[in-house]
Amino acid sequence: MYKRIAKRALRIVAVSEYTKKTIVDNYNVNPNRISVIYNGLDPCLFDIEPDNSIFERFPELKTKPFFFTLGSLETRKNLKWIASHAELYPNDFFAISGKPPLKKSSISELAKLKSLKNVLLLGYLSDQQVKALILKCKAFIFPSFFEGFGLPPLEALCYGKDVIISNNSSLPEIYKNSARYINPNDPNVDLDALLETKVDAPDDLLQRLTCKNSAKKLYEVIKEVSGGANIEEKDSVVPSPLISIITITYNNAAGLKKTIDSVASQTFFNYEHIIIDGGSSDGSVEVIKNALKDENYARHVSFWCSEKDGGIYPAMNKGVEKANGDYCLMLNSGDWLAGPKNLERAAAFGLKEDIVYCDAYFVKRGRRRHVRYVKKLTGSFFFVRGLCHQATFIKTSLQKKNLYSNEYKIVNDSDFFMKVLIKQNCSSRHLPIVLSCYDAETGFSSVSGSLHDKEFSMLLNKYYPARVQEDLRAYVKHKYWLLFLCRKIKRMLIQLYERH
């Protein structure tokens, strides 16, 4: 899953150069697509009041100097080092805080620690109790095998404590000369002598690694990915397009309610909702009127009507003519936005192109299929499939100049996309998010497959010369044969792996 995400992401943010290198090595990602932004210190840490009641629960910590470590008690945190060191140096006392592990290997290490008299397992503690322990400990110790960043030592440094950490993974990169280092594979080290060695003051480190600096760098990355939009750094709002959501419905009250609920739940507010009902008699009008009782939703409904029309495409054109937004989104009754933040996420990319299309879920018999679209639309793409208009933003000016024809019964939306993208060469962009769920069971396109095939064949004859169609058929056949072969080989390899 992570490999697929890494391949599809517009930009990857890593918390260290070490993490970046790990991603490049494991997922074969272009390093230029990865930005390194270090974690920042939470300023709220300075406001935490230490809870000294922890010393009443564990009175031995009042009198004994102790080394303190914090984190999940996983194998990679290297509890084995502490156990081995505690056996070699019985005068060194350790206090360990963290959630109990789930893996058997970690549980056995935990059992070993419990048997040692100079190791105290504290369990999960509050932030206030952790601060009290850090302030009183001799030093914070962190013998981890692997860290993508390693935040706990930074918290200890901000409280003015010495830190002893492993000399591997990202830790030397982050802490440089502000920490003392140990070999995570060698527990035979005199910690008291190590603490006598000089290190740099952490002031520069603490000034660099702040949430504010991390946020600024993340802001720059988002700005770059979204096309360099001119966004003020203070007291400003990212300019968002007005999106006209157009819903066509006829005698589908339940589906209409689902659609309206998904629109009304959006965290993005710069939209208008236009509902065109074809004179339903099943309670659809009551669904609309009930929804309008919610003032927060009602202020987004710029137009609605319930009257007979010439069918779905004339109704869609009626909605387009009423649209005031920068972009139109056709979300018919029964279809719904896949999540409450979806419009907000799409707008954050910066909508500029004539056609901006997203992925979608096709839902049928309770099951949903993730439909992923290509990054670049070509003639071969439209030869075998079309875009899902429920997941496609279309510039309103373009849509009004190219209203849907009523030449076909089913494929007029495909006709529109072929006309503007093949014939008129309009600009397009793919956003790697799932925008909508399409009702493939009761939706308009769920009707006769033979009618669809017949009309789609007529469309191909309209936009592709016969000789081009022959070449594309040969290309598509070869492409899908290779895909079939690759999937079959993949299944065979999985079966072999499971048997062995």
Cβ distance 140 to 115 under 8 Å?
A: no
Is residue 499 predicted with pLDDT exceeding 70?
no
Is residue 500 predicted with pLDDT exceeding 60?
no
Cβ distance 259 to 343 under 8 Å?
A: no
Identify the band that residue 112 occupies on the pLDDT scale cut at 50, 70 and 90.
Answer: confident
Nearest to 256 by CA among 223, 292, 213: 292
pLDDT (mean) for 325-344: 93
Give the pair of three-digit tokens for residue 107: 């549980």
pLDDT score at 236: 42
Task: Find the angle CA(220)-CA(222)-CA(224) to the nearest 5 degrees.
Answer: 70
CA 421 to chain centre: 29
Min mean pLDDT across 274-288, 370-384, 461-475 is at 461-475
The residues, ordered by sequence, that sit 6+ positions from 223 with a Cβ below 8 Å of its Cβ are: 229, 231
Rounded CA gap, 207 and 214, in Å? 11
| AA letter at 485 | L
Cβ distance 391 to 358 under 8 Å?
A: yes
Element (H, E) at 237: none
**Helix, strand, coil percent values for the chain (each to nearest 5):** 45, 20, 35
The residues, ordered by sequence, that sit 6+ positions from 162 with a Cβ below 8 Å of its Cβ are: 138, 139, 140, 180, 195, 199
Cβ distance 276 to 318 under 8 Å?
A: yes
pLDDT score at 42: 84
The residues, ordered by sequence, that sit 6+ positions from 179 with a Cβ below 8 Å of its Cβ are: 153, 157, 163, 164, 165, 171, 199
Identify the band that residue 397 occupies on the pLDDT scale cut at 50, 70 and 90.
Answer: very high
pTM, to two decimals: 0.52
Is residue 305 predicted with pLDDT exceeding 50?
yes
pLDDT score at 452: 72
pLDDT score at 183: 96
Higher pLDDT among residues 53 and 98, named by residue: 53
Question: What digits encode the pLDDT tens for the residues 50-86?
Answer: 999 999 999 999 999 999 998 777 778 888 899 999 9
Rounded CA gap, 83 and 109, in Å? 8
Is residue 444 predicted with pLDDT exceeding 70?
no
pLDDT score at 103: 55
Mean pLDDT of the chain: 86
pLDDT (mean) for 476-480: 58
Question: What digits encode the pLDDT tens for the residues 209-234?
Answer: 999 899 999 988 888 876 554 444 44
Is residue 390 predicted with pLDDT exceeding 60?
yes
Rounded CA gap, 377 and 393, in Å? 15
Nearest to 420 by CA among 395, 404, 407, 402: 402
Give the pair of three-digit tokens for residue 273: 């909702």
Rounded CA gap, 142 and 155, in Å? 12
